[in-house]
Amino acid sequence: MIFLNGGPGCTTMLGAFLLNGPCVVDDDSFYFDNPYAWNSKLNILYIDAPAGVGFSWAKNSEDKKYNDYISSVDNMKAVLEFFKKFPELIKNDVYLAGDSYAGVYIPYLAMRIHQHNQEIKTHNNGPHINMKGILVGNACTDWTVDTYNSRMDFSYMHNIVDQDTYFNWRDHKCERFSDDVFPPTPDPVCDQMWERLENHLSDNINPYDIYRDEHPVEYN
């Protein structure tokens, strides 16, 4: 299993202590063994990408200039270096997993591995990688559907927002994009409906697990 973290907000610590690692730290900072840990059945390689994110590092500022294409090349190099260091694992089945922006990184890396396997058939210049599948959770793949734009539908389907808010949003064909992905299209109705949504979500609701109590952040 290769777990590719999705960006600055998704570090190896999140995977290790919450998602699939050997231990869990709950809301009261109580540690216990994870009975469903992936590493009880698998070898897991965590990759923080792109360079400079999480525990990864870069030699200079130039190495921190990246796009999806460059990241896919770097991630492929990391996979090959891993198998060079641990050749006894090359025979194992390989699954690629990640969340968030890994919805972009994972398909790119899968493409690189497929291209690599096709190339070695004729050039025999590396090991065959037994890629069997990919897993992506909470994926950010299509900006017009994912992330912010999916939040209103999700909230309405789970009774977080009322019908008036939802249908006003839908009838005005409102859209919302994180950061500066696309230029904003201001609309007073859309802005008002989005503010309603945010007010509901901030009302002690954990957006990543709406059935769980949200614990406030405490600073010493």
Q: Which of 83, 118, 137 is the endpoint of a domain?
A: 137
Taking residues 119-131, what's their average pLDDT?
Answer: 90
The pLDDT value recorded for residue 148 is 85
3-state secondary structure 76-134: HHHHHHHHHHCHHHCCCCEEEEEECCHHHHHHHHHHHHHHHHHHHHHHCCCCCCCEEEE
The pLDDT value recorded for residue 66 is 81
Phi and psi at 96, nearest 5°, equal: -100, 135
Q: What is the CATH number of the domain that holds 22?
A: 3.40.50.1820
Q: Do residues 81 and 161 share a domain?
A: no
Q: Do residues 129 and 186 share a domain?
A: no
Q: With a threshold of 0.95, does the pTM exceed it?
A: no
Q: Do residues 25 and 123 share a domain?
A: yes
Distance CA 113, CA 130 (A): 9
Q: Give the pairing of strands 131-137 and 94-99.
A: parallel
Given pLDDT bands bounded at 50, 70 and 90, which one contains residue 219?
very low
Q: Do residues 122 and 156 share a domain?
A: no
Q: Do residues 128 and 82 share a domain?
A: yes
Q: Do residues 22 and 105 share a domain?
A: yes
Which residues constitute the domain of residue 159? 142-220
3-class secondary-structure state, position 6 = coil
